[in-house]
A and B are shown apart, each in its own frame.
Chain A
Amino acid sequence: QSALTQPPSASGSPGQSVTISCAGTSSDVGAYNYVSWYQQHPGKAPKLMIYEVTKRPSGVPDRFSGSKSGNTASLTVSGLQAEDEADYYCSSWVGTNSVIFGGGTKLTVL
């Protein structure tokens, strides 16, 4: 199973919206609604931001939203804030014994 494809970087100004894509195949992202997104600040562990494509864990701001179309999932961050600057990773369940991750996107708040 190959890694999911994410753009290496994305950027936006405070208050703007930015969308990060996560491209998979019909065997992973396209097959299941079990896509998650993680935020990781430098030197810290990943933090779950979105699960099951669109759901937000308790405590995650509603500025973060997820969607999926075909084999591509997306994370949108609205009303960008300085603290949103981080690396973002997507993942997809691909069966009982497997999960794959994207290569990560570095989000810069200009």
Chain B
Amino acid sequence: EVQLVESGGGLVQPGGSLRLSCAASGFTFSSYWMSWVRQSPGRGLERVASIRHDGISKYYLDSVEGRFTISRDNAKNSLYLQMNTLRAEDTAVYYCAKDSGWYRFDTWGQGTQVTVSS
């Protein structure tokens, strides 16, 4: 069974940092682009960051560029999102998603809540 399981969310103060992790199973992780997609009531769904199967190419939402870093460890079938200098507007449920081409997200994790508040 293809599965993605996120972890690492929580409550953090503005300006703080969090590292999200996503454990993948049931497919050849090293063959696929992977993305982080977030969802909040005010901003809807947003693709936050994407990384190529070999980790060489990375793309970011403009508002997180320079603050967030996406990475992967194909040996561990894991995807990461390092989030620094967090802002209130980063509050959302963060999903890990498998991309089967042209941003076709065919598998999603269960999501992890990130809340940025003092």
A4 to chain B, nearest CB (A): 10
- The complex places the Cα of A89 from the Cα of B84 at a distance, in Å, of 29
Residue of A45, A52, A57, A101 with most chain B CB atoms under a 10 A cut-off: A45
A55 to chain B, nearest CB (A): 9
B65 to chain A, nearest CB (A): 11
Select B46's contact among A34, A97, A101, A104, beta carbons within 8 Å: A101
A15 to chain B, nearest CB (A): 29
Q: Which B residues touch A82, using CB under 8 A?
A: none
Q: Which B residues touch A98, using CB under 8 A?
A: 47, 59
Q: Which B residues touch A3, using CB under 8 A?
A: 44
Which B residue sits closest to A102, measured CB to CB?
A: B44
A51 and B104 within 8 A (CB): yes
Interface membership of A63, Cβ < 8 A: no
A36 and B59 within 8 A (CB): no
Quick one: which of B39-59 are within 8 Å of A by CB? 44-47, 50, 59
A48 and B104 within 8 A (CB): yes
Select A36's contact among B44, B105, B109, beta carbons within 8 Å: B105
A45 and B109 within 8 A (CB): yes
B108 and A101 within 8 A (CB): no
A103 to chain B, nearest CB (A): 5
Asked if A93 meets B45 with Cβ closer than 8 Å, knowing A45-B108, A45-B111, the reply is no
Q: Which A residues touch B108, using CB under 8 A?
A: 45-47
Q: Chain B interface (Cβ within 8 Å of chain A)? A: 44-47, 50, 59, 95, 100, 102-106, 108-111
